[in-house]
Amino acid sequence: MIDDPILFGSAALGLLVLLIAIRMPIAYAMILVGGIGVMLVNGSALVLNQLKTLAYGQFSIYDLSVVPMFVLMGALASHAGMSTALFRAANAWLGRLPGGTAMAAIAGCAGFGAVCGSSLATASTMGKVALPELQRAGYDGALATGTLAAGGVLGILIPPSVVLILYAIIVEANVVTMFAAAMLPGLLAVLLFLGVVALYATLRPAAAPRGGALPAGELREASLGVLPVLAIFGIVLGGIYGGLYNPTPAAAVGVALVWLYGALRRRIGWAELGAALRETAGTAGMIYLILLGAELMKIFMSRIGLPQATADWILASGMAPMTVMLLLLAALIVLGCLMDSLSMILLVIPFFWPVLTELNGGLYTGPEGAFGMSTEELKIWFGILALIVVELGLITPPVGMNVFVISSLAPGVPMGRTFRGVLPFFGAELLRVAILLALPGLTLWLPRLLAG
């Protein structure tokens, strides 16, 4: 055992951050640091034995098969033109309000995120659809780009979400339960974002002009056009919650329905299907490689005893459980500025979760832990909070990947203005975290109802 696991582990994590900072792919960085770490602690033979069986053990998990299916569903949705139908319908109903086109962009991002499950894909796809409309309507550049960059973060939480699935696999939570837990916090984000736009339009009317009401025929046509998208969403999630199928068959059903939708609209042919399959293969391969690296890091940290040592130190320090939770969430926000959300969940959660588990049981040994809930409910509550703050990194300098994506679509708007445009939404997200911290029942109500 290492004499000072906290110092040794911290040095290893520092090296990992350094490798990421110099642009080494995070999967390779984790494999390198984790492999060398295990080698230093237990010798090279253990590393070779682990690599012989680790990849198969990780990738043959049945629950993981849902990941490429939902990735393919999102890729096909991008080609099928679903984003256009969603935005057009939302704009038909909301465009007449002050800031209505920006509100429609938020609603479109939420709807497309529910089908796609990827924040970057949501920001990119909805940006291409909604940004020209926002510019044509005379919206301020900061509000237009900030709205779309922030709207993209809705993709990580509103089910189905690939990152949410991976979190559930890491902490051994039920995927359906995590989907249920994400529903109300996801809807809360949409409401808060709509409130931000409404406040912006009230304070600066010229920056968020009101659109005109559409004729009844156009309104009806736009509304009917979005019904197939809503039906697909309802069939996939409704089937899961109704017990008709588990997430993997649900994802397969979703892929078939999205492909059929795109084919009937003549948006998906053989070329588009091939492009979607190639995109899925690349994304799924990246996810699996990151999973392998994260598992090596997890083994390394367990071998040196860093999670246990950290938990013991926290228990000995006498810090209140909520203080520890706030510190962990703050650390996730900072790390979110340095790496993407998927990599961070896979890297950090295996380290953070044992600390919270030990803390929950170490201060109270009854049926409910130090946070006033069982370990099963704690993993659900913490997972939703963690995913929210992790996604804040997509709109936070210096990385802010969503901001970079939207800025590439709006060359006439300086990136600094886009970052200023997302600040109100960043504040709304912090408010959402505060609400969920103060009222855990918002996260746990639906899972308790389904379990009831």
Domain assignment of residue 243, yes or no: yes
Q: Where are the alpha helices (DSSP H) in 321-374?
A: 321-336, 341-362
Measured distance CA(322)–CA(329) in Å, rounded: 10
One-letter amino acid of 209 = P
Same domain, 96 and 164: yes
Q: Distances in Å between the alpha carbon of 254 and those of 65, 84, 131, 220, 343?
A: 14, 19, 28, 26, 26
Same domain for 168 and 52 = no
Question: Is residue 44 a part of any domain in this protein?
Answer: yes
Same domain, 17 and 93: no
Looking at residue 368, what is its pLDDT?
A: 65
Residues 74 and 29 reside in one and the same domain: no
Based on the domain organization, do 14 and 72 belong to the same domain? no
Range(s) of the domain holding residue 71: 64-281
Per the domain annotation, does 445 fall within a domain? no
DSSP 8-state class, residue 211: P
149 and 69 in a single domain? The answer is yes
Cβ contacts of residue 177 below 8 Å, gap of 6+? 168, 380, 447, 450, 451
Assigned domain for 369 exists: no
Please tell me the total count of domains within the chain: 2
Pairwise pLDDT comparison (366 vs 28), residue with the higher score: 28
Looking at the fold, whether 130 and 266 belong to one and the same domain comes out as yes
Q: What angle do CA 248, 250, 252 make, to 5 degrees?
A: 75
Output the DSSP codes for 160-187.
S-HHHHHHHHHHT--HHHHHHHHHHHHH
> What pLDDT digit, counting tens, does each position of 14-52 carry?
888 888 778 788 888 888 998 888 888 887 777 777 777
- Between residues 110 and 160, which one has the greater pLDDT? 110
CA dihedral 440, 442, 447, 451 (to 10 degrees): 80
Residue 213 covered by a domain: yes
Q: Are residues 20 and 132 in the same domain?
A: no
CA–CA separation, 118 and 121 (whole Å):
5
Q: What is the pTM of this model?
A: 0.88
Let me know if residue 452 belongs to a domain. Answer: no
- pLDDT, residue 382, reads 93
Q: State the Cα–Cα distance between residues 358 and 227, nearest whole angstrom.
A: 47
Select from 220, 248, 281 the last residue of a domain. Answer: 281
Per-residue pLDDT at 2:
59
Same domain for 110 and 2: no
Specify whether 207 is located in the same domain as 266: yes
For residue 1, pLDDT beyond 70: no
Cβ neighbourhood burial of 324 (10 Å; 0-12, 13-18, 19+): buried
**pLDDT single digits (tens) 404-422:** 888 888 888 888 888 899 9
Is the separation of the CB atoms in 106 and 151 below 8 Å? yes
CA distance 193 to 48: 49
395 in Cβ contact with 149 (< 8 Å): yes
Mark whether 11 and 71 lie in a shared domain. Answer: no
What is the mean predicted confidence (pLDDT) over 169-183? 89
Domain-embedded: residue 109: yes
Does residue 331 fall inside a structural domain?
no
User: Can you list the alpha helix ranges (DSSP code H) found in 60-154?
Assistant: 66-80, 82-94, 100-116, 119-136, 141-151
Can you list the positions of beta strands (E) in 183-321?
none
Mean pLDDT of the chain: 85
Q: What are 330-362's pLDDT values in tens digits? A: 888 877 776 777 777 877 887 788 778 877 765
Q: How many CA atoms lie within 13 A of 107 on its CB side?
A: 22
Distance CA 388, CA 376 (A): 19
Give pLDDT, residue 452: 67
Is residue 5 located within the same domain as residue 95? no
